Amino acid sequence: MNKQDYNQGISIRSKIKPGDIGSIICMHGKLYAEEYGFNLTFEAYVAGPLSQFIKNFNPAKERLWMVEKENEAVGSIAIVKFTDEQAQLRWLLLHPDVRGRGIGKKLVELAVDFARESGYSSIFLWTVNILPHAAHIYRSFGFNITEEKKSPVWGLEMIEQKYELRL
């Protein structure tokens, strides 16, 4: 799937274009600061792995989906190769203007389907406990929490959660 018209001028595409990586970093930095009070270290946390993802991109085992509304980035998700058997789900985010339309669920569905088709036996992701809508989506696909830890990250005290799904 390269581009899909989702609804009301929203599309999801998997062809990476110039500016996509910067858009993901910017969206994460701005939205998590505005909505949760994260500091600048969160933007760096997103930027480092995204940079490595693009430098080492393997289209047979990795994919990035961008959500666009009127040609502007409003969301993303990715499957990143962690090992030959295990994928990591990363960078799920939707701008508030496009939330509540089932797009987050569609993104996770695309990611899980791609990981399965790519031969992975499992997928994991790290998140924080203050994102109940994302957690609900993960659980609806069968992801389970396998680890929790309290951490001082991004200027706050957080409970990080590792979710895993056997494929």
Q: Which pLDDT score, from 0 to 100, does residue 6 have? A: 52
Q: How far apart are CA 79 and CA 146, in angstroms?
A: 19
* Res 9: pLDDT: 84
Q: Which of 156, 77, 146 is nearest to 114 (CA)?
A: 77
The partner residues of 122 in beta bridges, in order of sequence, read 86, 166
DSSP strands (E only) in 38-83:
63-69, 72-81
Domains and CATH numbers, the chain: 6-166 (3.40.630.30)
pLDDT value of residue 150: 96
The rounded distance, in Å, linking the Cα atoms of 145 and 139 is 9
Give the integer Cα–Cα distance in Å for 28 and 156: 16
pLDDT by residue for the chain (167 residues), tens only, comes to 444 545 678 999 999 999 999 999 999 999 999 999 999 999 999 999 999 999 999 999 999 999 999 889 999 999 999 999 999 999 999 999 999 999 999 999 999 999 999 999 999 999 999 999 999 999 999 999 999 999 999 999 999 999 999 99
Are the CB atoms for 165 and 112 separated by under 8 Å? yes
Q: What pLDDT sits at residue 7?
A: 63
Q: Is the pTM of this model over 0.85?
A: yes
φ and ψ at residue 12, rounded to 5 degrees = -120, 130
